[in-house]
Amino acid sequence: MHKENQPLIFELSKEGRIGYSLPALDVPEVALSDLMPNGFVRQEDAELPEVSELDIMRHYTALSNRNHGVDTGFYPLGSCTMKYNPKINEAVARFSGFANVHPLQDESTVQGAMEVMYDLQEHLSEITGMDEVTLQPAAGAHGEWTALMMIRAFHEANGETERTEVLVPDSAHGTNPASAAVAGFDTVTVKSNENGLVDIEDLKAKVGPKTAALMLTNPNTLGLFEEEILEMAKIVHGVGGKLYYDGANLNAVMAKARPGDMGFDAVHLNLHKTFTGPHGGGGPGSGPVGVTKELAPYLPKPVLVKKEDQYTFEYDRPKSIGRVKPFYGNFGIYLRAYTYIRSMGPDGLKAVTEYAVLNANYMMRKLEPYFDLPYPQHCKHEFVLSGRRQKKLGVRTLDMAKRLLDFGFHPPTIYFPLNVEEGMMIEPTETESKETLDSFIDAMIQIAKEVEESPEIVQEAPHTTVISRLDETKAARKPVLRYQKEEETVGV
């Protein structure tokens, strides 16, 4: 329900009011129908609101104030790495020499842009310990799929077409089994043990001649580092399978440990998480993939290479899986990641990891007395609490997530991973001050007390937001696509 004091833009509309001012035309007027082929010119005017520039400015500013973003408040959405994106990244992405480059320009005129891409590839291959990197994939899941297509092409080139299975631990990110399915594989789930790590015996039982790859999120979605990773690599390689590393949240290990050194054959990174590309709202993202020499011939083409002092796109790659993204990929995100890596330096990147891990452990220990902590060992960049104690008192994790909105915090990821009852996956990130961490901790403790003393406050939350509790599925299933003046319209 919208509040009376903020009308919809359609309610502000007054017939004939305009939001721009242009001098009188001093050239002959041209009818749209002269410019467009028949049938493409609309017969009736679109139903658009008619408002002044000032009204529309205030309207969008007011809407933006209702939004929760990293720049407005703490955003501990587990696995999403909602950390601060330094504004110097934005300044660099707007340099006219980058922002005005056209993707069809001749290579000789865009050597600077290609150098940035090449250097970024080199940095990422150093950070991951992989031999070659492609920047093409547009997101993490797209990177997963790209790498699996390469692994598939590799097995096919070796005549091993019976390798149809991809093993995915139950603690993997949800995109992993989805990417495997889209790449044409059958997924086989590997169980976690009581410590939240991959069950080695179950892994042994499930690998075999059909195994194409194991996809591992490390640290897994419980925020736990797979301690037996070298053993796991041996098991999977032992049967001829490949190891795929989901490195979306590399802020947990960056500059400390490298997937390449752990025995992985392919890894994707999320530049829009660890490397400070802004994200949320659907992108644009960037999910570069690093691979070993053995998989490199299968990289998407064209491959960006350096020949003497010239950068060039190499198209003659007969084993390539082909192009996975037009033009340069999401170039603006490369610039932001490149600026971040260069401005942090190796010591800075190491500090990022240390603080990401320290902040998560600090918060976990402070909250441990108030919530169940199913996996109590040290965590990496995130940890998962269970709300099962509160559920017994009639308050669900969903209620507590809603209550956090009253404190001005974005809720954590909830009900994930699936093996934690009433889970709350909290990722504070390294960019938050101790004071911010403490204020979130205080809010969580207060909520835990409210659950015991006056649960209805939590059950009926949020109380202070512009709209109260929404129907969780209706917004997705029945979106309001168009404003209608009467009933069955806006909101819930």
Ligand X SMILES: *Cc1c(COP(=O)(O)O)cnc(C)c1O
Residue 248 binds to ligand X (criterion: CB under 6 A): yes
- Of residues 144 and 399, the one with the C-beta less far from ligand X: 144
Residue 77 binds to ligand X (criterion: CB under 6 A): no
Q: Where is 133: in which H helix or E strand?
A: strand 132-134
- Of residues 217 and 397, the one with the C-beta less far from ligand X: 217
- Of residues 79 and 386, the one with the C-beta less far from ligand X: 79
Residue 287 binds to ligand X (criterion: CB under 6 A): yes
Residue 431 binds to ligand X (criterion: CB under 6 A): no
Residue 79 binds to ligand X (criterion: CB under 6 A): yes
Residue 329 binds to ligand X (criterion: CB under 6 A): no
Exactly one of 85, 134, 251, 270 binds ligand X (CB under 6 A); which one? 270
- On whether the CB atoms of residues 214 and 232 are closer than 8 A, the answer is yes
Residues 96 and 75: their CA atoms lie apart, in Å, by 32
The label of the residue with tokens 């598939």 reads: 152
The least CB distance from residue 272 to ligand X, in Å, is 6
Token reading at 430: 């390294």
The least CB distance from residue 159 to ligand X, in Å, is 31
Residues 310 and 53: their CA atoms lie apart, in Å, by 48
Which residue type does 185 have? F
Q: Which residue is nearest to ligand X (CB)?
A: 140
- Of residues 140 and 278, the one with the C-beta less far from ligand X: 140
Give the number of other Cβ atoms within 10 Å of residue 245's Cβ.
28
- Of residues 333 and 447, the one with the C-beta less far from ligand X: 333
Cβ burial, residue 446 (10 Å; 0-12/13-18/19+): middle
Asked if residue 219 has a cis previous peptide bond (ω within 30° of 0), the answer is yes
Q: Which stretch binds ligand X (CB under 6 A): 155-163, 246-254, 332-340, 475-483?
A: 246-254
- Residues in 168-197 at the binding interface with ligand X, rule: CB under 6 A: 173, 175
- On whether the CB atoms of residues 80 and 415 are closer than 8 A, the answer is no
The least CB distance from residue 273 to ligand X, in Å, is 6
Residue 285 binds to ligand X (criterion: CB under 6 A): yes
Which residue type does 225 have? F
3 state SS of 425: strand
Residues 62 and 58: their CA atoms lie apart, in Å, by 6
Exactly one of 217, 292, 339, 413 binds ligand X (CB under 6 A); which one? 217
Residue 339 binds to ligand X (criterion: CB under 6 A): no
- Of residues 175 and 390, the one with the C-beta less far from ligand X: 175
Residue 274 binds to ligand X (criterion: CB under 6 A): no
Q: Which region holds residue 129: left if phi is over 0, alpha if psi is between -120 and 50, else beta?
A: left
Residues 92 and 225: their CA atoms lie apart, in Å, by 35
Residue 35 makes CB contacts below 8 A (sequence gap 6+) with none
Q: How far is CA 78 from CA 415, 429, 450, in A?
A: 11, 9, 24
The least CB distance from residue 283 to ligand X, in Å, is 8
Which residue type does 136 have? Q
The least CB distance from residue 137 to ligand X, in Å, is 9
Q: Which stretch binds ligand X (CB under 6 A): 139-147, 225-233, 386-394, 484-492?
A: 139-147
The least CB distance from residue 221 to ligand X, in Å, is 7
Residues 298 and 242: their CA atoms lie apart, in Å, by 14
Residue 141 binds to ligand X (criterion: CB under 6 A): yes
- Of residues 424 and 451, the one with the C-beta less far from ligand X: 424
The least CB distance from residue 219 to ligand X, in Å, is 9
The least CB distance from residue 293 to ligand X, in Å, is 25
Following DSSP, what letter does each residue of 371-386 receive, concatenated? Answer: SB-SS-S--SS-EEEE
The least CB distance from residue 242 to ligand X, in Å, is 18
Interface size with ligand X, residues (CB under 6 A): 13
Up-side HSE of residue 355: CA atoms within 13 Å toward CB?
Answer: 15
Residues near ligand X (CB under 6 A): 79, 139-141, 173, 175, 217, 246, 248-249, 270, 285, 287
